Amino acid sequence: MIAELINPYYLQVASFMLINIILGISVYITLSTGQLSLANAGFMGIGAYTSALLTIHFELPIVVGIIAGALVAAICGILIGIPTLRLQGVYLAIVTLGFGEVIRVVFVNWETLTNGSVGISGIPHIGREILSTLQGFGFNPSMLGLQNNQFIFLSIFTLLLLVTIFIIWFFRRQHSSRVGRAFAAIKLDEKAAESMGINITYYKVLAFAQGALVAGFAGAMYAHILAYISPADFAYHRAVEILIFVVFGGSEVIWGPVFGAFFLTLMPEVLRFISEYRYMIYGLIIIIMMAVRPQGLIDVNMLNWFKRKRVKGGHKHGAGNQKGM
Amino acid sequence: MKGMFKKLVGVTAFSSLLFLSACGGNSEQAGGDSEGASDGKVKADVGVVSFITGSGAAYGEAIKGGLELAKEEINEKGDVELNLIFEDSAGKQDQALTAAQKLINSDNVTAIIGPTLSTEMNVVGPEADLSGVPIIGTSTTAEGIPQIGDYVFRNSIPEALAIPASMEKAIEKYDAKKVALIYGNDDVFTKSGFDTMKATAEKMGLEILTTETFQKGQSDYNAQLTKIKSYKPDLILASALYNEGAVIMDQARKMGIDVPFVGGNGFNSPEVIKIAGDSSDGLIVATPWYGEKEDPKVQGFVKKFKEKYGNDPDQFAAQAYDALYILADAIKNAGEADRDKVRDALAETKDFEGILGNFSFDEEGDVIMDPTVLVIEDGEFVVFE
Amino acid sequence: MLIEQLINGITLGSIYAIVALGFTLVFGVLGIINMAHGEIFMFGAFIGVMITSSLKAPLWVAFAGAIVITAIMGYMLERFALRPLRHKQGVSHLAPLISTIGVSILLENLSHHLFGAGNHPFRASFAEINFQIGSITVYLVQIVIFVISIILMLTLSFWLGKTKAGKALRATAENLETASLLGVDTKRTITMTVIIASAMGGIAGILVGMAFNSVTPQMGLSMGLKGLAIIILGGMGSVRGAMAGGLILGLAETFIVVYGDSGYRDAIAFLAIIIILLIRPQGLFGQKIST
């Protein structure tokens, strides 16, 4: 029954959508302290390459590779985060943009390790690996009435869905915790936050590293789903694409990037005839959003409206961060 | 807050349901809607994954042009009736994979032509192979493409065949001993071409004076060329796509470098002459495609292509054109639009006479044919002897 | 070879400098990094190609055409992507940066549709004129580029420092509200700035087209990112800094090819800004940044 309904194409789109959601969240986390990081495509690349190389050369299990990939990206995030903290707003954005480009150039040139622009192929595929592991236990997809490739994509989708739900849950918890309030205070006014005794260095690096960790994780997943990566996957355009998810969906609440990635990944698939104009539409979306609704489609007020609860105090966007969620 | 969360889960579940129901109707694997029709014609849907938008759109357009032309002719003949479904990959692996998934699972195509780049094929090939859909690359020239699996073929001549052919002839004629290399190191196509060039040069015992690189979007090659000039090479091996390669030749000639250039597959296009003008004289390439060949088939194609699109066909168009003919031939021989049968028929393709010349697949699905070595003289490609 | 490489480096550096001047002007007055500048530059180059090769018009028409069109683009950029963000409550300082990224994506992809993805040669007999000095070939275009970059820098310095319009510009840069109270038409000043900066991008575009005989839709991004690096290197908003930074980057990129590995050429610009921001965040010629 269900077997006939499962189409790998849709699962594939849904899986990329989830990866994009995770990437969008990674930018959102860093932005929640008011820092714009354009290096997340680079962190994604670090995660992808680390995991791919570890699983290929040392034959580590994929899980270990993915965790290592995310951690290495986070460490790079800390290393780049500490010295750049002195920089504000646009300076930080440009440096992170530059950092992302430098990473790509290193991937291209460090041929003995990364195979250069030819890229790494034959990366263990997470779905096929799950299947073969389960087959080792005597399981066969046909028991569920599924074909092999249906099962493979179903397992990838399920896994990603669980992880995405966990990430959303975690950062929503964090948002209403001490850490989240500190982030919001720093975003609102760094100096005031500092005078209130918030260790802004610590929290800014924390936000940066968390963003890198999540981006690195998404990158590692990406590597094990496509089974092939090359430096061109992690270039400037990727960084901008991730940024668009956040700008379009909204950067105030976590549902913003989630919705942005969901909608913008789905749109070109549903309307494939517009795919030729996709990037022009992206450009227009950014311009219009910035002019009309710079906080993104989904903001605190909208969520409150959704909840149909009366909001105490007439706080505007930005100011609502602490209580919004 | 919990309410919000539930809503999200709800939305996700709902949208996944939407996906699933949208595809409920047609999930049979073997092209159920395209079986042989009653009038003896075999009808088949052929999916095309191509680089239609973005930086490589020029290749995608040429490929699309070649395929459309071939389709019209094939359908006119009437043995098979093909329907082409184009999907854009924008040159990106993930989009190529998604496009291929759509073609394989939603459109139930009998076979796929494309994708344009070898990087994309590295991702799409294994998936098509796993799903049992024959796939033919028309411009994927990197190492190891047909070796991905039994269902993966190509009719594009690999660099490993083309580059040594042109290098051998050029070195013999000019008695070259010292060479300089220049290549684009951030592009998989030019990088793998370079690897072949380097290996061939080493095998032939040539002295490599220097190896220079350039990157996408660069328009100033003067620094690299000045360096190359100072070494006084007998020959320059350039692994570049024609867009960059033509500019490199132009700047080299302006600087006073007048030695011949040997280029890879991507360097081979009439556009080189258009961009670089007189400066393109002395470019040597091996090509499966030679538009001046005195073969009525070739001339007919060139004429029709020019009438339809206004410009001369390049190898991308020609290879795509032949690929569809090869596929149509296989579908005809298979007798029905069944993926497995078409694959078997494809594998048996032998001595196919197309516009590229005599063509066969080897047991791995790779190309067996002799490339023609060409040189640009007085602004025209002529056979190099 | 060294002299030839020096000439190569200076030519490239002069082009970078002209691009960077456009960036620095907008940043100096508006405090905004105009990420779309590279694409406007690219459009200037394409307009030049279209006019010279399709219309067969002389070179000065190409220059005039490119200046007019890029100036109009500058106006549109200001009108639709920047002005709506000014004086708006709750807009983060990152909004204009993001908005101009949007413009750059739009323009890059628009150019694919308008001009095609391929490379367009720039045919101008002017670009062929050259002198032979010993074994070195020097092209007139190379000299022209260098001279134009110097002239632009001097004019800009003079204009900003000595003329009334320039003073209004600097006053606007200093403090928008105060300048407005003092009777400066800030709206007009800002619009003029963006228009002039864009027109300079257009000029740079044609010069590159002539010097390298190559115009592609991708050139905007690479040039834009380099220009960005240069103004950080030279100091945001500093005219001299843009010039010096441009020359330094041009020479550095040339000499890494001569003595190092050309594969890392694209990384120099960004390594340089990462280092400079860590050591001397205000840039080589910049004023100390007050945060």
pLDDT digits (tens, 9 = 90+) for C214-234: 888 888 888 888 888 888 888
H/E stretch holding A66 reads helix A62-84
- Which residues of chain A have a pLDDT value below 70? 1-5, 272-275, 308-325
The distance of B56 to chain A (nearest Cα, Å) reads: 13
Closest residue of B to A228, CA-based? Answer: B123
B236 & B349 share domain: no
Q: How far apart are CA B194 and CA B200, in angstroms?
A: 10
Sign of CA dihedral C68, C74, C78, C81: positive
- Choose among C12, C89, C68, C91: nearest CA to C196: C68
Query: Do the domain assignments include residue B8?
Result: no
Q: Classify residue A312 by burial, with Cβ atoms within 10 Å: 0-12, 13-18, 19+.
A: exposed
Q: Classify residue B332 by burial, with Cβ atoms within 10 Å: 0-12, 13-18, 19+.
A: middle
Q: How far apart are CA C234 and CA A253, in angstroms?
A: 38
Query: Do the domain assignments include residue B234?
Result: yes
Beta-carbon separation of A98 and C229 below 8 A: yes
- The pLDDT value recorded for residue C91 is 66
Which of A152, A230, A267 is the best residue to mutate to test the B interface, defined by the most B CB atoms within 10 Å of its own CB?
A230
Chain B residues with beta carbon closer than 8 angstroms to that of C221 = 217
Phi, psi of B230 (to 5 degrees): -65, -20
Which of B183, B212, B218, B255 is the best residue to mutate to test the C interface, defined by the most C CB atoms within 10 Å of its own CB?
B218
Query: Do the domain assignments include residue B377?
Result: no
- The pLDDT value recorded for residue A279 is 81
Those residues whose C-beta lies under 8 Å from the C-beta of residue C104, and which sit 6 or more positions away, are A283, C35, C36, C38, C39, C220, C221, C224
Q: How far apart are CA C145 and CA C126, in angstroms?
A: 13
CB A146: neighbour CB atoms within 10 A?
A: 18
Q: How far apart are CA A276 and CA A280, in angstroms?
A: 9
Beta-carbon separation of C109 and A279 below 8 A: yes
- The pLDDT value recorded for residue A309 is 55
Q: How far is CA B153 from the centre of its chain?
A: 12
Sign of CA dihedral C281, C287, C288, C291: negative
The distance of B204 to chain C (nearest Cα, Å) reads: 25
Closest residue of B to C216, CA-based? Answer: B217
Structure tokens at B137: 């690359």
Residue-averaged pLDDT of chain B? 83
Q: Classify residue A5 by burial, with Cβ atoms within 10 Å: 0-12, 13-18, 19+.
A: middle
Which residues 211-240 of B have a C-beta within 8 angstroms of A? 215
Residue type, A260: G
For residues C78-104, average pLDDT: 83
Please report, in angstroms and rounded to a whole number, the separation of the first and last CA atoms in chain B.
77
Using CB atoms, list chains with 3+ pairs below 8 Å to chain A.
B, C
- pLDDT tens for B304-338 read 999 998 888 888 899 999 999 999 999 999 888 89
Q: Using alpha carbons only, how large is chain C's radius of gyration in Å?
A: 19
- Choose among B368, B241, B253: nearest CA to B314: B241
Q: How far apart are CA C210 and CA C56, in angstroms?
A: 15
Q: How far apart are CA B69 and CA C116, in angstroms?
A: 21
- The pLDDT value recorded for residue B70 is 93
B199 & B263 share domain: yes
B239 & B307 share domain: no
Query: Do the domain assignments include residue B27?
Result: no
Which DSSP state fits B267?
G
Q: How far apart are CA B108 and CA B102, in angstroms?
A: 8
Chain C residues with beta carbon closer than 8 angstroms to that of A98 = 229, 269-271, 273-274
Q: How far apart are CA B294 and CA B298, in angstroms?
A: 7
- The pLDDT value recorded for residue A273 is 67
- The pLDDT value recorded for residue C287 is 61
The distance of C281 to chain B (nearest Cα, Å) reads: 28
CA atoms within 13 A on the CB side of B84: 27
B47 and B112 Cβ atoms separated by less than 8 Å: yes
Beta-carbon separation of B24 and A4 below 8 A: yes
Chain A residues with beta carbon closer than 8 angstroms to that of B1 = 172, 325
Phi, psi of B218 (to 5 degrees): -75, 140
Q: Closest partner residue to B23 among A10, A227, A228, by Cβ? A: A10
Phi, psi of B375 (to 5 degrees): -135, 150
B338 & B321 share domain: yes
Using CB atoms, list chains with 3+ pairs below 8 Å to chain C.
A, B
Query: Do the domain assignments include residue B220?
Result: yes
- The pLDDT value recorded for residue A137 is 84
Phi, psi of B185 (to 5 degrees): -90, -5
- pLDDT tens for C31-71 read 888 899 999 999 999 999 889 888 888 888 989 999 999 99
C96: preceding bond cis by omega (within 30 degrees): no
- The pLDDT value recorded for residue C259 is 86
CB C259: neighbour CB atoms within 10 A?
A: 9
- Among B252, B287, B322, which residue terminates a domain? B287
B337 & B227 share domain: no
- Among B225, B256, B287, which residue terminates a domain? B287
Residue type, B126: P
- The pLDDT value recorded for residue C228 is 86
Chain B residues with beta carbon closer than 8 angstroms to that of A303 = 4
Show the DSSP H helices in chain B as ranges.
2-22, 57-77, 93-101, 118-131, 159-174, 188-203, 222-231, 242-255, 271-276, 296-309, 315-334, 339-347
Residue-averaged pLDDT of chain C? 84
Phi, psi of C119 (to 5 degrees): -90, 135
Q: Is C282 helix (H, G, I), strand (E, B) or coil?
A: coil
B153 & B173 share domain: no
Give the bridge partners for B352, in sequence order.
B359
Q: How far apart are CA C90 and CA A70, in angstroms?
A: 34
Q: What burial letters (b/e) apply to B148-160, b meaning 16+ CB within 10 Å?
A: bbebbbbbbbbbb
Find the CATH number of the domain harbouring B91: 3.40.50.2300
Give the bridge partners for B382, in sequence order.
B375
B195 & B182 share domain: yes
B53 & B130 share domain: yes
Chain C residues with beta carbon closer than 8 angstroms to that of B274 = 121
Beta-carbon separation of B101 and A8 below 8 A: yes
Q: Closest partner residue to C106 among A34, A98, A280, by Cβ? A: A280
| DSSP state string for B216-258 | TT----HHHHHHHHHH--SEEEEE--HHHHHHHHHHHHHHT--
For residues C156-178, average pLDDT: 80
User: How far are the Cα atoms of B288, B301, B318, C133 from residue B354, in angstroms, in the given order?
Assistant: 11, 10, 9, 53
Q: How far apart are CA C48 and CA C215, in angstroms?
A: 10
**What's the length of chain C?**
291
Q: Closest partner residue to C266 among A83, A105, A287, by Cβ? A: A105
Phi, psi of B283 (to 5 degrees): -90, 125
Assess B368–A contact: CB distance below 8 Å, yes or no. Answer: no
Query: Do the domain assignments include residue B182?
Result: yes
Banded pLDDT at C286 (limits 50, 70, 90): low
B280 and B376 Cβ atoms separated by less than 8 Å: yes
Assess B306–C contact: CB distance below 8 Å, yes or no. Answer: no
Closest residue of A to C81, CA-based? Answer: A287
Virtual torsion, Cα B10, B15, B20, B21, nearest 10 deg: 100
Q: Is B20 helix (H, G, I), strand (E, B) or coil?
A: helix
- The pLDDT value recorded for residue A168 is 94
pLDDT surpassing 90 at residue C258 = no
B247 and B221 Cβ atoms separated by less than 8 Å: yes
H/E stretch holding C8 reads helix C2-30
Closest residue of C to B277, CA-based? Answer: C121
Structure tokens at B64: 């699309």
Percent of chain C predicted with pLDDT > 70? 97
B166 & B212 share domain: yes
B141 and B189 Cβ atoms separated by less than 8 Å: yes
Q: How far apart are CA A111 and CA A133, in angstroms?
A: 32
- The pLDDT value recorded for residue C113 is 83
Query: Do the domain assignments include residue B58?
Result: yes
Assess A314–C contact: CB distance below 8 Å, yes or no. Answer: no
Helix%, strand%, coil% for chain C, nearest 5: 75, 5, 20
Chain B residues with beta carbon closer than 8 angstroms to that of C8 = 220, 222-223, 226
Q: How far apart are CA B248 and CA B243, in angstroms?
A: 9
Instruction: Report the number of distinct structural domains present in chain B.
Output: 2
User: How far are the Cα atoms of B182, C39, C86 from residue C184, in angstroms, in the given order?
Assistant: 55, 30, 17
Assess A171–C contact: CB distance below 8 Å, yes or no. Answer: no
- The pLDDT value recorded for residue C180 is 80
Report all structural domains of chain C as residue ranges with CATH numbers, in order of start.
2-279 (1.10.3470)
- Which residues of chain B have a pLDDT value below 70? 1-40, 55
H/E stretch holding C183 reads none
**3-state SS track over A187-234:** HHCHHHHHHCCCCHHHHHHHHHHHHHHHHHHHHHHHHHHHCEECHHHH
Closest residue of B to C110, CA-based? Answer: B54
Chain A residues with beta carbon closer than 8 angstroms to that of C110 = 280
Beta-carbon separation of C8 and B229 below 8 A: no
- Among B241, B261, B287, which residue terminates a domain? B287
Query: Do the domain assignments include residue B92?
Result: yes
Beta-carbon separation of C97 and A90 below 8 A: yes
A254 and A150 Cβ atoms separated by less than 8 Å: no
Q: How far is CA C145 from the centre of its chain?
A: 13
**Range(s) of the domain holding residue B266:** 160-287
Contacts within 8 Å (CB) and 24+ apart, A84-88:
A84/C277, A84/C278, A85/A201, A85/A204, A85/A205, A86/C281, A87/C277, A87/C281, A88/C291
Chain A residues with beta carbon closer than 8 angstroms to that of C266 = 101, 105
Percent of chain C predicted with pLDDT > 90? 22
B56 & B139 share domain: yes
Chain A residues with beta carbon closer than 8 angstroms to that of C105 = 240, 279-280, 282-283, 286
B236 & B324 share domain: no
Q: Closest partner residue to B214 among C118, C221, C262, by Cβ? A: C262
Closest residue of A to C111, CA-based? Answer: A280
